[in-house]
Amino acid sequence: MAEDTKKEKKKMNPILWFLFVIIVPLLIILFLTIFILSIAGFSVLDWTKEKVEDVPIISALVTTEQEPMKDQEKNQMLDKLASKDEEIEQLNQEVEDLEATIEELEHEQAKLEGNSDSAEDTSDSLEDKQADNPLKTASGSFKDMDSEQAALIIQNMEKETATAILEAVSPKVRGKIMEAMDPEKAAELTQLIIDEEEE
């Protein structure tokens, strides 16, 4: 049993020897080198990160300064995309509102065109009625005319036509026209109007 423990000590001795003779001194030298280079102004960590970036497996474990910047840029781009999407939605909504407004205006225009067609039909029927009754048309033009001018025209007409026009206008207009006429002609036309009313 004593021999077994001696053998184990001999087996452990080479491992301990390797650890204390080679590994520990190398670590001390490495730390001293990093310390001295740092004091001298050389950034050993940045240099190491830069060199490790090219190594495939280790580069995934080491984060560089560019990665946070890339993440920040990515976030900014995502924010911009979100704002653009909102803007597009607003513009689409405005387009839909404008299309609805256009549709309403087209309906109103169709209604107005329908109303204007019916108004044209009404005015056409009025014109037809006026055309059917030339006496009303003539009396309407004498109503707006100067009384002296109207008197001169009526004096030169046939008696039946002159009495028909004077009967068609209002009594006020008739009085002004007769006042501007020759008294004998006015008396004659007045007598004819009275005779026709008595019949």
**DSSP per-residue letters across 15-37:** HHHHIIIIIHHHHHHHHHHHHHH
Q: How far apart are CA 65 and CA 63, in angstroms?
A: 7
Q: How far apart are CA 28 and CA 20, in angstroms?
A: 11
Q: Give one DSSP letter per residue of 107-152, joined into a string.
A: HHHHHHHHHHHHHHHHHHHHHHHHHH-HHHHHHHHHHHS-HHHHHH
Give φ, ψ of 8 to 5 degrees. Answer: -65, -40
**Amino acid present at 109:** Q
Per-residue pLDDT of the chain (199 residues; tens, 9 = 90+): 566 666 665 566 777 778 888 888 999 998 888 888 888 888 877 777 777 777 777 666 666 555 667 778 888 888 998 998 999 999 889 888 888 888 888 888 888 887 776 666 665 555 555 445 677 777 777 777 787 888 888 888 888 888 888 888 888 888 888 888 888 888 888 888 888 777 6
For residue 94, what are the contacts with CB-CB under 8 A and spacing of at least 6?
A: none
Instruction: Report the residue count for the chain.
Output: 199
Would you say 181 and 151 are in contact if contact means Cβ atoms under 8 Å apart? yes
Please tell me the pTM assigned to this model.
Answer: 0.34
Q: How far apart are CA 129 and CA 177, in angstroms?
A: 26
End-to-end CA separation in angstroms for the chain: 169
Give domain limits for the chain.
Answer: 69-132, 134-198
